[in-house]
Structure 1
Amino acid sequence: MHRIWTKTAATLIALMVLGGCATSKDKLLPHGDHTMFDVWNQETGGSAGGGQPARQLLDARQGLRRPLTEADVQAVPVTNATYTRTAVNEIHRQFHRLPNPDLVMYVFPHLAGSDPVSVPGYTTVFPLYQRVQYAMPGERLEDY
């Protein structure tokens, strides 16, 4: 009985593999007459089209190609200075520590070890989080 199932399974797998080889790539993925350039022109309104998608695309491009104003030119050094390391900003922390509260735990008296030794009750303190976590610059303003 086991042998019949094995032969049947092997025959089905062989038929599936041969059936996969018998199909044509062009039949599965037919090629149209359109190129990617044709699809691009159709979706963006075309180079000679000037439809609504083409207008939106041109408006977006014009926003990116705008010339720098005087305010933009003057703001560049200020913006770059916030990322530049100097002696002044080296002593100030940019990444503040996030709070990591201490937990207090009382351990009851118990027996420990292979030879039961009595351990008196005691209190221990440990941090809530295993690692120190830091905030991104500007994310947290309070000092800890």
Structure 2
Amino acid sequence: MPGISTKTLMVTFAVTLLAGCATHKDALLPHGDRTMRDLWQQHAGDGGSGPMTTRRLFDARQQLRRPLTGADIEAAPAVAAHYTRTAQNEIQRQFHRLPNPDLIMYVFPHLAGTDPVPVPGYSTVFPLYQRVQYAMPGERLEDY
């Protein structure tokens, strides 16, 4: 069984490529008689059936609204105080530091430099993470 030649493969590829480019944009995306502005006005409530569409939107919004009860009015200052900055909580830290443990590394005695100079062994301390990381407010309450 003879193998497929490169020439046959290239001709097949070229025919496929040209057939893909032969379509016309109007055949793929036919145009209607409405413009983009007409579509926007119809779906935004300014077009279509005019005041009737606007009235339907108003009725739908009214169903989502509810009056405030006495409990809601009384609880509003406490809810706002939870996230509002005041002089009292301004000095408290809201973004606590996350732990960044220190690593201790021992450097063995070695020779250093272009002229081999003996360096005695020593210990050094460096943090595990390069930068200090902070928690979001309320994420960590314990202090480090």
User: Do the structures match in fold with TM over 0.5?
Assistant: yes
Give distance in 2, aligned partners of 1:73 and 1:88: 24
RMSD: 3.5
Judging changes above 3 Å, is the alpha-carbon distance between structure 1 residues 28 and 102 closer, same or farther for their aligned structure 2 residues? same
Aligned to 2:72: 72
Give distance in 2, aligned partners of 1:133 and 1:125: 19
TM-score, normalisation: structure 2: 0.61
Q: Per-residue deviation at 1:61?
A: 7.3
> Identity over the aligned pairs, expressed in percent?
71
Aligned residue identity for 2:112: A
Structure 2 runs not aligned, ≥5 long = 1-6, 44-51, 53-59
Aligned to 1:81: 81
Q: Per-residue deviation at 1:68?
A: 1.9
Judging changes above 3 Å, is the alpha-carbon distance between structure 1 residues 61 and 119 closer, same or farther for their aligned structure 2 residues? farther
Give distance in 2, aligned partners of 1:83 and 1:69: 22
Aligned to 1:102: 102
Q: Per-residue deviation at 1:82?
A: 2.4
Q: Per-residue deviation at 1:137?
A: 0.9
Aligned residue identity for 2:117: V
For residue 83 of structure 2, give the secondary structure of its aligned residue in structure 1: coil
Q: How many residues align?
A: 112
Give distance in 2, aligned partners of 1:87 and 1:70: 29
Q: Per-residue deviation at 1:79?
A: 2.0
Give distance in 1, aligned partners of 2:20 and 2:89: 70
Moved over 4 A (4+): 35-38
Aligned residue identity for 1:68: L
Q: Which sits farther off after the overlay, 67-76 or 114-123?
A: 67-76
